[in-house]
Amino acid sequence: MVTVLEIYQLLPKTNCKICGESTCMAFSVSLLGRKRKISECTPILEVNFKKQKEKLEALLLPSAGAEETGMIVHPELCTGCGNCVVACPVDVANDPKGAAIGCAPTNDKVIFRVVDGKVVASNIKECRRFGKNRVLCYACIDPCPTGAIEFV
């Protein structure tokens, strides 16, 4: 998984604030969290930063398939155990008679469902890592035995 530091190393490190963040480090955090785009750092678009920019793009590329929340599901690693289905606080709140008590989801408001033995995520905007009152929730990552869910 990409770290903030790896991103930082590739930035101009001048803390010029053109991007709107107070430091390049802060911009790295925002880049990692998908809140900003590389192009917002105009200095890096200049020719002498070409190599660094390409590296940065490559680094952030794998998460292009990720949802806005940064969630990536690796179906090939998933065992379909359903731990995330039952542990996710959104699923618990939205499906108290189903997912919350360990049963199959009873409505479409849950984030996780298991289809063909592998997890499928939907309603991702509901994820607690997203929106106004976001929190750094780990309730689907920690219970996963195989690392099939990650946030980038």
Partner 1 sequence: MSTCPGCALLCDDIEVVVESGRIKETRNACRRGAARIKGCINRLAPTIDQKPSDIESAIKKAAGILKDSKSPMLFGFSNSTCEAQVKGIQLAKKLGAMIDDTSSFCQGLLIEKILQKKFRTCTLEDVRNKADVLVYWGSDAQDSQPRHLSRFSYFPRGESRQRGYEEDRIAIAIDVRESNTAKICKGHFYRIQPKGDREFILALIDALSGKVPAYEPKKILELAAILKKAEFGVIFVGIGLTYSIKEDFDILVSLADKLPNFQIMPMVGHYNMRGFNENLFKETGFVNRVRFHDTAVHDDKYSIIEALREKSIDALLVAGSDPLSSLTRSLIRHLASIPVICIDPCVTMTSKIAAVTIPCAVSGVESGGTAVRMDGKKIGLSKIIESDYLTDEELLVRLMGAL
Q: Residue 119 forms beta bridges with which residues? A: 114
Enumerate residues 6+ apart whose C-beta is below 8 A from 75. Answer: 118, 119, 120, 148
Give the binding range for partner 1 (CB under 8 A) out of 10-18, 27-35, 66-74, 84-92: 84-92
Among ligand SF4, partner 1, none, the one that 101 touches (CB under a kind-dependent 5 to 8 A) is: partner 1
Among ligand SF4, partner 1, none, the one that 100 touches (CB under a kind-dependent 5 to 8 A) is: partner 1
Among ligand SF4, partner 1, none, the one that 65 touches (CB under a kind-dependent 5 to 8 A) is: none
Q: Would you tell me which residues interact with ligand SF4 (CB under 6 A)?
A: 78-84, 88-90, 111, 114, 119, 127-129, 137, 139-140, 143-146, 148-149
Among partner 1, ligand SF4, none, the one that 38 touches (CB under a kind-dependent 5 to 8 A) is: none
| Cα–Cα distance measured from residue 64 to residue 43, given in angstroms and rounded to the nearest whole number | 23
The answer to whether residues 52 and 10 touch, using CB atoms and an 8 Å cutoff, is yes
Give the binding range for partner 1 (CB under 8 A) out of 1-9, 22-30, 34-42, 140-148: 140-148
End-to-end CA distance of the chain: 7
Shortest spacing between CB 118 and partner 1, in angstroms: 7
In angstroms, what CA-CA distances link 113 with 42, 70, 97, 105, 119? Answer: 41, 18, 15, 7, 6
The answer to whether residues 137 and 127 touch, using CB atoms and an 8 Å cutoff, is yes
**Phi/psi of residue 149, nearest 5 degrees:** -120, 130
Among ligand SF4, partner 1, none, the one that 127 touches (CB under a kind-dependent 5 to 8 A) is: ligand SF4
Q: Which residues bind partner 1 (CB under 8 A)?
A: 78-83, 85-87, 92, 100-105, 113-118, 142-143, 145-146
